Amino acid sequence: MPSYILKLKCPDKPGIVASISQGLLELDSNILRNSEYRDEASQIFTMRCVFEVNIETEEQVSEKLQSRISELGADVTIRNKDTPKKALIMVSKFDHCLLDIFYRIKSGELNLEIAAVVSNHPDLKQVTEQNGFTFKHIPVTADNKEAAEQELRTIIDEHQVEFVTLARYMQILSPSFCSDYSGKIINIHHSFLPGFKGADPYQQAHDRGVKLIGATAHYVTAELDEGPIIAQDVTPVSHLETKTEMATLGRDVERVVLSKAIKAHCEDRIFSLGNRTIVFQ
Protein backbone atom coordinates (compact mmCIF):
# COMPACT_ATOMS: atom_id res chain seq x y z
CA MET A 1 0.00 0.00 0.00
CA PRO A 2 1.50 3.39 -0.91
CA SER A 3 2.47 5.89 1.77
CA TYR A 4 2.00 9.63 1.43
CA ILE A 5 3.32 12.69 3.21
CA LEU A 6 0.84 15.49 3.81
CA LYS A 7 2.33 18.88 4.63
CA LEU A 8 -0.10 21.48 5.88
CA LYS A 9 0.30 25.09 7.00
CA CYS A 10 -2.56 27.40 7.87
CA PRO A 11 -3.72 30.01 10.37
CA ASP A 12 -4.47 28.21 13.61
CA LYS A 13 -8.02 27.45 14.72
CA PRO A 14 -9.73 24.51 16.42
CA GLY A 15 -10.65 21.56 14.21
CA ILE A 16 -7.74 21.37 11.77
CA VAL A 17 -6.56 17.95 12.95
CA ALA A 18 -10.11 16.68 13.28
CA SER A 19 -10.91 17.69 9.73
CA ILE A 20 -7.81 16.24 8.11
CA SER A 21 -7.84 13.03 10.15
CA GLN A 22 -11.55 12.55 9.45
CA GLY A 23 -10.85 13.06 5.75
CA LEU A 24 -8.09 10.46 5.90
CA LEU A 25 -10.32 8.02 7.79
CA GLU A 26 -12.98 8.31 5.09
CA LEU A 27 -10.33 7.09 2.66
CA ASP A 28 -9.61 4.09 4.91
CA SER A 29 -6.19 5.56 5.41
CA ASN A 30 -3.98 4.79 8.40
CA ILE A 31 -1.73 7.46 9.99
CA LEU A 32 1.79 6.18 10.63
CA ARG A 33 3.52 9.30 11.92
CA ASN A 34 2.23 12.74 12.56
CA SER A 35 3.81 15.92 13.88
CA GLU A 36 1.89 19.08 14.62
CA TYR A 37 3.05 22.41 15.95
CA ARG A 38 1.32 25.71 16.52
CA ASP A 39 3.68 28.68 16.45
CA GLU A 40 2.56 31.04 19.14
CA ALA A 41 3.96 34.29 17.76
CA SER A 42 2.43 33.92 14.32
CA GLN A 43 -0.55 31.72 15.26
CA ILE A 44 0.34 29.50 12.31
CA PHE A 45 -0.41 25.79 12.55
CA THR A 46 1.86 23.30 10.80
CA MET A 47 1.41 19.57 10.32
CA ARG A 48 3.33 16.75 8.68
CA CYS A 49 1.39 13.55 8.44
CA VAL A 50 2.60 10.24 7.00
CA PHE A 51 -0.22 7.88 6.13
CA GLU A 52 -0.82 4.82 4.02
CA VAL A 53 -3.86 4.53 1.82
CA ASN A 54 -4.93 2.26 -0.99
CA ILE A 55 -5.03 5.04 -3.58
CA GLU A 56 -2.62 5.16 -6.42
CA THR A 57 -1.71 8.76 -7.13
CA GLU A 58 -0.97 11.95 -5.24
CA GLU A 59 -3.54 13.72 -7.41
CA GLN A 60 -6.30 11.33 -6.43
CA VAL A 61 -5.52 11.70 -2.74
CA SER A 62 -5.36 15.49 -3.04
CA GLU A 63 -8.66 15.61 -4.86
CA LYS A 64 -10.42 13.61 -2.18
CA LEU A 65 -9.15 15.93 0.57
CA GLN A 66 -9.64 19.10 -1.46
CA SER A 67 -12.84 20.39 0.07
CA ARG A 68 -11.43 20.08 3.57
CA ILE A 69 -8.20 21.81 2.58
CA SER A 70 -10.08 24.67 0.93
CA GLU A 71 -12.30 25.06 3.96
CA LEU A 72 -9.23 25.42 6.18
CA GLY A 73 -7.59 27.88 3.81
CA ALA A 74 -4.52 25.73 4.16
CA ASP A 75 -1.36 25.54 2.15
CA VAL A 76 -1.04 21.77 1.53
CA THR A 77 1.16 19.41 -0.42
CA ILE A 78 0.59 15.68 -0.66
CA ARG A 79 3.35 13.53 -1.99
CA ASN A 80 4.04 9.84 -2.41
CA LYS A 81 6.75 8.96 0.10
CA ASP A 82 8.72 7.16 -2.61
CA THR A 83 8.68 9.90 -5.22
CA PRO A 84 12.14 11.46 -5.44
CA LYS A 85 12.46 15.24 -5.50
CA LYS A 86 14.07 16.66 -8.62
CA ALA A 87 17.07 18.81 -7.86
CA LEU A 88 19.64 20.95 -9.57
CA ILE A 89 23.03 20.84 -7.88
CA MET A 90 25.28 23.85 -8.27
CA VAL A 91 29.01 23.74 -7.55
CA SER A 92 32.19 25.63 -8.28
CA LYS A 93 35.49 23.81 -7.73
CA PHE A 94 35.17 22.01 -4.38
CA ASP A 95 33.92 18.47 -4.85
CA HIS A 96 33.42 17.14 -1.32
CA CYS A 97 29.74 18.01 -0.96
CA LEU A 98 29.00 16.96 -4.53
CA LEU A 99 30.60 13.53 -4.17
CA ASP A 100 28.86 13.09 -0.86
CA ILE A 101 25.48 13.76 -2.44
CA PHE A 102 26.26 11.28 -5.21
CA TYR A 103 27.15 8.65 -2.61
CA ARG A 104 24.02 9.20 -0.57
CA ILE A 105 21.80 8.93 -3.62
CA LYS A 106 23.44 5.64 -4.64
CA SER A 107 23.24 4.21 -1.15
CA GLY A 108 19.53 5.05 -1.03
CA GLU A 109 19.94 7.54 1.78
CA LEU A 110 18.72 10.51 -0.26
CA ASN A 111 15.59 10.12 -2.34
CA LEU A 112 16.78 12.65 -4.86
CA GLU A 113 16.85 12.83 -8.64
CA ILE A 114 19.53 15.09 -10.04
CA ALA A 115 18.34 16.94 -13.12
CA ALA A 116 21.83 18.31 -13.68
CA VAL A 117 24.96 19.51 -12.00
CA VAL A 118 25.62 23.12 -12.97
CA SER A 119 28.92 24.84 -12.40
CA ASN A 120 30.58 28.15 -13.21
CA HIS A 121 33.79 26.15 -13.70
CA PRO A 122 34.47 23.10 -15.86
CA ASP A 123 36.51 21.28 -13.19
CA LEU A 124 33.87 18.88 -11.90
CA LYS A 125 32.56 17.79 -15.30
CA GLN A 126 34.47 14.53 -15.40
CA VAL A 127 33.62 13.32 -11.92
CA THR A 128 29.96 14.21 -12.45
CA GLU A 129 29.74 12.26 -15.68
CA GLN A 130 31.65 9.30 -14.25
CA ASN A 131 28.98 9.12 -11.61
CA GLY A 132 26.34 9.06 -14.32
CA PHE A 133 24.96 12.56 -14.01
CA THR A 134 24.59 15.42 -16.48
CA PHE A 135 26.99 18.36 -16.17
CA LYS A 136 26.37 21.87 -17.50
CA HIS A 137 29.04 24.51 -17.51
CA ILE A 138 27.59 27.99 -17.16
CA PRO A 139 30.48 30.44 -16.77
CA VAL A 140 29.69 33.53 -14.75
CA THR A 141 31.49 36.80 -15.29
CA ALA A 142 30.80 40.32 -14.17
CA ASP A 143 29.11 40.92 -17.52
CA ASN A 144 27.01 37.85 -18.16
CA LYS A 145 25.39 37.34 -14.77
CA GLU A 146 21.90 37.97 -16.01
CA ALA A 147 22.27 35.73 -19.04
CA ALA A 148 23.75 33.00 -16.87
CA GLU A 149 20.80 33.11 -14.54
CA GLN A 150 18.45 33.06 -17.50
CA GLU A 151 20.14 29.86 -18.64
CA LEU A 152 19.64 28.45 -15.13
CA ARG A 153 15.97 29.33 -15.21
CA THR A 154 15.60 27.56 -18.54
CA ILE A 155 17.16 24.37 -17.16
CA ILE A 156 14.94 24.57 -14.08
CA ASP A 157 11.84 24.94 -16.23
CA GLU A 158 12.77 22.30 -18.79
CA HIS A 159 13.57 19.66 -16.17
CA GLN A 160 10.79 20.65 -13.79
CA VAL A 161 13.42 21.08 -11.11
CA GLU A 162 11.84 21.27 -7.67
CA PHE A 163 14.73 22.72 -5.73
CA VAL A 164 18.31 23.87 -6.13
CA THR A 165 21.21 22.89 -3.88
CA LEU A 166 24.26 25.12 -3.70
CA ALA A 167 26.89 22.55 -2.80
CA ARG A 168 29.72 25.07 -2.33
CA TYR A 169 28.72 27.29 -5.25
CA MET A 170 30.83 30.39 -4.92
CA GLN A 171 28.76 32.89 -6.91
CA ILE A 172 26.09 35.10 -5.43
CA LEU A 173 22.65 34.74 -7.00
CA SER A 174 20.68 37.87 -7.86
CA PRO A 175 17.93 39.11 -5.52
CA SER A 176 15.30 38.42 -8.16
CA PHE A 177 16.47 34.83 -8.63
CA CYS A 178 16.51 34.30 -4.85
CA SER A 179 13.05 35.76 -4.56
CA ASP A 180 11.54 33.80 -7.46
CA TYR A 181 12.82 30.53 -5.99
CA SER A 182 12.20 31.44 -2.38
CA GLY A 183 12.24 28.35 -0.15
CA LYS A 184 13.61 26.33 -3.06
CA ILE A 185 17.34 27.00 -2.83
CA ILE A 186 19.43 25.33 -0.13
CA ASN A 187 22.94 26.61 0.50
CA ILE A 188 25.72 25.22 2.67
CA HIS A 189 27.77 27.94 4.32
CA HIS A 190 31.03 26.85 5.88
CA SER A 191 30.59 28.59 9.21
CA PHE A 192 28.30 28.50 12.18
CA LEU A 193 26.05 31.37 11.16
CA PRO A 194 25.56 34.16 12.04
CA GLY A 195 29.30 34.08 12.72
CA PHE A 196 31.63 34.55 9.75
CA LYS A 197 29.27 35.45 6.96
CA GLY A 198 30.64 36.05 3.51
CA ALA A 199 34.04 35.18 2.12
CA ASP A 200 36.61 32.78 3.54
CA PRO A 201 34.95 31.85 6.84
CA TYR A 202 37.73 29.44 7.84
CA GLN A 203 40.22 32.29 7.64
CA GLN A 204 37.88 34.43 9.71
CA ALA A 205 37.48 31.57 12.22
CA HIS A 206 41.23 31.10 12.44
CA ASP A 207 41.85 34.80 12.94
CA ARG A 208 39.19 35.02 15.63
CA GLY A 209 40.62 32.00 17.42
CA VAL A 210 37.32 30.15 17.90
CA LYS A 211 37.37 26.74 19.56
CA LEU A 212 34.65 25.23 17.38
CA ILE A 213 34.11 25.54 13.65
CA GLY A 214 30.81 24.82 12.00
CA ALA A 215 28.59 24.69 8.97
CA THR A 216 25.10 25.95 8.29
CA ALA A 217 22.55 24.80 5.71
CA HIS A 218 19.91 27.42 5.00
CA TYR A 219 17.40 28.56 2.44
CA VAL A 220 18.82 31.30 0.28
CA THR A 221 17.34 34.76 0.41
CA ALA A 222 18.44 37.98 -1.18
CA GLU A 223 20.44 38.90 1.89
CA LEU A 224 23.72 36.96 1.87
CA ASP A 225 23.88 34.19 4.48
CA GLU A 226 20.78 35.52 6.21
CA GLY A 227 18.10 33.04 5.08
CA PRO A 228 16.18 30.59 7.32
CA ILE A 229 18.52 28.05 8.89
CA ILE A 230 17.72 24.36 8.38
CA ALA A 231 20.61 22.56 10.01
CA GLN A 232 23.89 23.38 11.78
CA ASP A 233 26.69 21.48 13.38
CA VAL A 234 30.17 22.13 14.74
CA THR A 235 33.43 20.33 15.45
CA PRO A 236 36.13 21.25 17.97
CA VAL A 237 39.39 22.91 16.94
CA SER A 238 42.32 24.25 18.89
CA HIS A 239 45.34 26.47 18.43
CA LEU A 240 47.00 23.56 16.61
CA GLU A 241 44.93 23.77 13.43
CA THR A 242 46.01 25.98 10.56
CA LYS A 243 43.35 27.53 8.39
CA THR A 244 43.85 24.69 5.92
CA GLU A 245 43.42 22.07 8.61
CA MET A 246 40.26 23.82 9.77
CA ALA A 247 38.93 23.65 6.23
CA THR A 248 39.75 19.94 6.15
CA LEU A 249 37.92 19.26 9.40
CA GLY A 250 35.13 21.51 8.24
CA ARG A 251 34.49 19.40 5.15
CA ASP A 252 33.18 16.59 7.33
CA VAL A 253 30.76 18.98 8.99
CA GLU A 254 29.65 20.56 5.72
CA ARG A 255 28.89 17.20 4.12
CA VAL A 256 26.78 15.98 6.99
CA VAL A 257 24.93 19.25 7.54
CA LEU A 258 24.12 19.74 3.87
CA SER A 259 22.90 16.19 3.40
CA LYS A 260 20.78 16.45 6.53
CA ALA A 261 19.13 19.57 5.14
CA ILE A 262 18.58 18.04 1.71
CA LYS A 263 17.09 14.92 3.32
CA ALA A 264 14.73 16.98 5.46
CA HIS A 265 13.70 19.00 2.41
CA CYS A 266 13.15 15.88 0.28
CA GLU A 267 11.10 14.29 3.02
CA ASP A 268 8.88 17.37 3.39
CA ARG A 269 9.90 18.00 6.95
CA ILE A 270 10.59 21.74 6.71
CA PHE A 271 8.29 24.73 7.06
CA SER A 272 9.56 28.30 6.88
CA LEU A 273 7.98 30.79 9.23
CA GLY A 274 9.46 34.18 8.47
CA ASN A 275 13.18 33.75 8.95
CA ARG A 276 12.87 30.62 11.08
CA THR A 277 12.27 27.01 10.11
CA ILE A 278 10.24 24.27 11.68
CA VAL A 279 11.96 20.96 10.98
CA PHE A 280 9.91 17.96 12.04
CA GLN A 281 11.96 14.91 12.99
Out of 225, 233, 252, 268, the active site residue is 225
Q: Is 223 in the site for a second copy (CB under 8 A)?
A: no
According to CB under 8 A, which one of 103, 162, 172, 200 is a site residue for a second copy?
Answer: 103
Of 74, 63, 79, the closest CA to residue 17 belongs to: 74
- What residues pair up with 86 in beta bridges, in sequence order? 113
Stretch that binds a second copy, among 67-75, 116-124, 145-153, 236-244 (CB under 8 A): 236-244
Residue 144 CB contacts under 8 Å (≥ 6 apart), including other chains:
none
Q: Is 202 in the site for a second copy (CB under 8 A)?
A: no
- Give residue 251's Cα distance to chain centre: 18
Residue 240 CB contacts under 8 Å (≥ 6 apart), including other chains:
none
- Please say which residue, 55 or 231, places its beta carbon nearer to a second copy: 231
- Please say which residue, 38 or 137, places its beta carbon nearer to a second copy: 38
Whether 225 is a known active-site residue: answer yes
d(CA 192, CA 59): 40
Residue 156 CB contacts under 8 Å (≥ 6 apart), including other chains:
88, 115, 164, 181
Counting residues that bind a second copy (by CB under 8 A) gives 65
Cβ atoms of 265 and 221 within 8 Å: the answer is no
Cβ atoms of 74 and 8 within 8 Å: the answer is yes
According to CB under 8 A, which one of 44, 230, 258, 266 is a site residue for a second copy?
Answer: 230
- Please say which residue, 155 or 278, places its beta carbon nearer to a second copy: 278
**Minimum CB separation from a second copy for residue 21, in Å?**
4
Known catalytic residues are 225
Residues in contact with a second copy by CB under 8 A are 12-18, 21-22, 24-25, 28-40, 96, 99, 103, 107, 109, 130, 192-196, 207-212, 214, 228-234, 238-240, 242, 248, 251-252, 255-256, 273, 275-279, 281
